[in-house]
Amino acid sequence: MERHRRQGRVRKYFLNIAVLGLALVAFYSCQTFKYLQEGERLYSGGELKVREVENARYKKEILKDLEEVNNPKPNEKIAGIRLGLWAYQKVENNKAGFYAKWVNKKIGEKPVLLGKVNTNNVQKLMKNRMENLGYFNSKIEYQIKENKNTGFIAYEITPRARIHIQAVEFKKIGEHKVDSLIQNYLDRENPIESGTPFSLEKLKETRIEIADYLKRNGYYYFTSNNLIFEADTLNTESSNEAILELSVKDKVSELALVPFEIKNIKVYPKYSLNTSEEGMGSDTTVINGVEFIQPEIFFRPDRLYPYLFFREGDYYDPENEKWTNKRLNSLKTYRFINIRYQEDSTIENNTGKLNANIYLSPLSKRSFRSELQAVSKSNNFAGPNLNFEYLNRNLFKGGEALRITTKVGYEAQLTGGDVNTGLNSFETGVLGELIVPRMISPFPIAGKFRYSVPKTKFKLSYDLLNRSQWFNLNSFLAVYGFEWNPNIFVTHSLNPISINYINLGNESEAFEELLESNPFLARSFEQQFIPGLNYSFQWSQLVRNIKRNRFYFAFSADFSGNALALAQNVGGVTGDNKKFWGQSYAQFSRFDFDIRNYQSIGTESRFVSRAFVGIGLPYGNSVSLPYSKQYFSGGPNSVRAFRIRSLGPGAYQTDDRTSGSSFFDQAGDIKIEANLEYRFPLVSYLKGAVFTDAGNVWLKNEDGRNGQFTSNWMNEMAIGSGIGLRLDIEFFVIRLDVATPIRKPGPDGFQWQDRFELGNKAWREENINWNFGIGYPF
């Protein structure tokens, strides 16, 4: 009985909402109609009806093309309300308040009236679109339908039979080489197959493709406008078929029919807009016919020469120009790259000559930057950071970039109450990084890269972290590796040598007690010598707004200690705790998989989904991952309904949260997370979000806390939901999220949240989690 009463209340509630919505629509509609003059009606659009089309796919194509010329478009409705029109009318009649003025400024629209529609013009445009699709002599009729305050136009389109292409023939213009090139292209590519329906758009595309093909073969002045298609319907087997004749137009410039070779190449590595070519320097170096002219050696010619994709005697090819420009830009040494061609007056053997001049305007060679930051981290630490950076963009005159950075920072824990009272940290460090724009490797692989310049990176760094009440941490890192992009979407990074040494010291009594109580955690802090290699792969469609549904995928693999352990095994060193120079080293493999989908909804809203799986496999010399390589769950970029590092491993819950030890021991070797987030605009730069997160971490080997990964892992996933605000000013995003657990660990394992008491302070303190962050979480 009670259940039926609840259902009745729910139905009544939604009925009231529906009635209120209809009342609002009726009110705003009446408001817009009352400003119409006598006899005026708002235009509600053109209704298209296509009759007797032989193919459903053709019908969609017709409707798509006709909709583009089905103008004007009626006033836009939002939830059935012409809000933009309403605001415009209020402003025009001097009756607008603040809200109406604001709406008018954003989306205000003039009234679109039925009487102002030029039906004859729309008819002509529709007929033209039908002919472009091969429907000649189609019949287009319309009727004007009037209601009390609105009206629409019903268009009825009756197509004739569509013309199909029987064959494409090429009409030669004489003894020009361009004839054979065009014929070869048609024979090889067959761009318009027999039986293809006629389409003007397809003919335009084919002309552009042929013109691009000719340009790649040296025809510098040839364009798609030099080509013309003519249709012959008289000499075909059916009246619904046509033979297309392709030809070069009669009055084409002779230069368009002549291929051009590169004659002279001059490169100005230190070009300035304020300097004439004569004053750009007396130092000229010639390498394989290419002249490098500069007042002094700013960029070594032997280093610059490999970046050029065209050579003396090559036919002009815009692809070579594009790759040359792209590679020179990737050096990050130059502000502007300008490639200009100059026609030579001589034409020999029916071939023209082009002189290529490459003007390179450099950036400042050295720069120094200091930066004061207010930093907020995912572990709820915040404080000031002072950074200094020195950059030399051309250290050895070959595009080598040397970057030296130093940092000093102080941070304190902002939240946590009594858990981490007084917890703060001081961090300082120095990083030296040399980026060389070529492969420095014993293997001859430099010639394998066309899209962009591969980079070799050398990195040395030292960091000191003083975490009050716990320990000091000295970290040394040395890396030798490569980075390259085979195309705009893919990035590879390979570090064959990566040596990380972390020295733990000045441990507090509380930290020593924590390590004594957790042998696995103690072992993870002992093995701080991490020698190995790592590789990462990234494929991203986010670099271009190419479609509404875009994907991102990243994979990384990290291997440590394997080569060292193999060498020691060969040398007869055995045991599960091998050491190198007296240091116990880590031995593991770690794999991360991160896949995301960004689905655009409308113009600004977006639905984002993400799945992350991280797997660490300690073996041989290790029983768990080193602490710096372990996974954590919870926090602003993870499961946002839970505090930073407060989940796992498995169903484990710490008994003592007042000590802050959970900050260290709630870590794991395996991590699984999933996120769903709907992002939508609110006002100007302010965006909103609704999200749900799920995830946890587990151990590979059991340590007594019931945190080992098992087949029951799905029942140990924490789930939380929330809402957020983002101040998004394109290059900078400030984010505030608030979330609550939906499923969380409890005394009897994971349990669903069975009560939501927002008015209860104690419940809010336990179940409401605020997250502040910079940038989107994913």
**Predicted local distance difference test score (pLDDT) of residue 636:** 83
Query: What integer is the mean pLDDT of 589-596?
Result: 96
Task: DSSP letter for 601, please.
Answer: E
Query: What integer is the mean pLDDT of 99-116?
Result: 84
Cβ atoms of residues 361 and 617 within 8 Å = no
Query: What integer is the mean pLDDT of 681-687?
Result: 82
Ordered by start, the domain boundaries in the chain are 31-74+112-158, 164-257, 260-362
**Predicted local distance difference test score (pLDDT) of residue 353:** 92
Query: What integer is the mean pLDDT of 182-204?
Result: 91
**Predicted local distance difference test score (pLDDT) of residue 431:** 94
Query: Any idea which of 5-14, 388-397, 458-467, 475-484 has the lowest mean pLDDT?
Result: 5-14
CATH superfamily of 260-362: membrane protein fhac (3.10.20.310)
How does DSSP assign 33-56, residue by residue? Answer: HTTSPTT--EEEEEEEEE---S-H
Residue 644 — pLDDT band, cuts 50, 70, 90? confident
Distance of CA 499 to the CA centre of its chain: 31
Which residue matches tokens 């089905």?
70
The topology (CATH level 3) of 31-74+112-158 is Ubiquitin-like (UB roll) (3.10.20)
**Predicted local distance difference test score (pLDDT) of residue 761:** 81
Query: What integer is the mean pLDDT of 767-775?
Result: 81
Residue 448 — pLDDT band, cuts 50, 70, 90? low
- Where are the strands (E) in 321-454, listed by range? 334-343, 352-362, 366-376, 381-392, 401-413, 424-436
* DSSP H helices in 285-442: 301-304, 318-330
Query: What integer is the mean pLDDT of 165-180?
Result: 86
**Predicted local distance difference test score (pLDDT) of residue 453:** 82
**Residue-wise over 382-420: b if at least 16 C-beta within 10 A, else e?**
bbeeeeeeebebbbebbbbbbbebebebbbebeebeebb
Nearest to 450 by CA among 317, 308, 336: 308
Q: 721 vs 748, which has greater pLDDT?
A: 721
Query: What integer is the mean pLDDT of 272-280?
Result: 63
Q: Please check the confidence at residue 594 and state whether its pLDDT lies above 90.
A: yes
pTM value is: 0.74
Query: What integer is the mean pLDDT of 471-487?
Result: 88
Whether 31-74+112-158 and 260-362 share one fold: the answer is yes
Instruction: State the Cα–Cα distance between residues 406 and 385, nearest whole angstrom.
Output: 11
**Predicted local distance difference test score (pLDDT) of residue 552:** 94
Instruction: State the Cα–Cα distance between residues 645 and 638, nearest whole angstrom.
Output: 9
Q: 430 vs 413, which has greater pLDDT?
A: 430
- Burial class from Cβ neighbours inside 10 Å (0-12, 13-18, 19+) for residue 329 reads middle
Q: Please check the confidence at residue 276 and state whether its pLDDT lies above 60.
A: no
Span 543-568, pLDDT tens digits = 777 678 899 999 999 998 887 877 77
**Predicted local distance difference test score (pLDDT) of residue 394:** 92
Query: What integer is the mean pLDDT of 68-90?
Result: 84
Query: What integer is the mean pLDDT of 450-479?
Result: 85
Task: State the sign of the Cα–Cα–Cα–Cα dihedral 435, 436, 437, 440.
Answer: negative
Nearest to 404 by CA among 419, 385, 387, 384: 387
Query: Any idea which of 8-12, 91-95, 205-209, 662-666 has the lowest mean pLDDT?
Result: 8-12
Average pLDDT value over all residues in the chain: 83
Q: 97 vs 309, which has greater pLDDT?
A: 309
Span 1-55, pLDDT tens digits = 444 444 444 444 444 444 444 444 445 555 678 788 888 899 989 999 998 887 7
Residue 78 — pLDDT band, cuts 50, 70, 90? confident
**Predicted local distance difference test score (pLDDT) of residue 444:** 65
Q: Please check the confidence at residue 219 and state whether its pLDDT lies above 90.
A: yes
Q: Please check the confidence at residue 410 and state whether its pLDDT lies above 90.
A: no
**Predicted local distance difference test score (pLDDT) of residue 694:** 94
Q: Please check the confidence at residue 205 and state whether its pLDDT lies above 90.
A: yes
| CATH 1.10.3720.10 is right for the domain spanning 164-257 | no
- Where are the strands (E) in 420-523, listed by range? 424-436, 455-467, 471-484, 490-505
Q: Please check the confidence at residue 570 and state whether its pLDDT lies above 80.
A: no
How does DSSP assign 367-394, residue by residue? Answer: EEEEEEEEEE-TTSEEEEEEEEEEEETT
**Predicted local distance difference test score (pLDDT) of residue 19:** 45
Query: What integer is the mean pLDDT of 366-389?
Result: 73
Query: Any idea which of 194-203, 336-345, 380-389 has the lowest mean pLDDT?
Result: 380-389
Cβ atoms of residues 259 and 214 within 8 Å = no
Which residue matches tokens 């230069």?
255
Nearest to 191 by CA among 176, 204, 179, 178: 204
Q: Please check the confidence at residue 743 and state whether its pLDDT lies above 70.
A: yes
Query: What integer is the mean pLDDT of 454-473?
Result: 86
Residue 86 — pLDDT band, cuts 50, 70, 90? confident
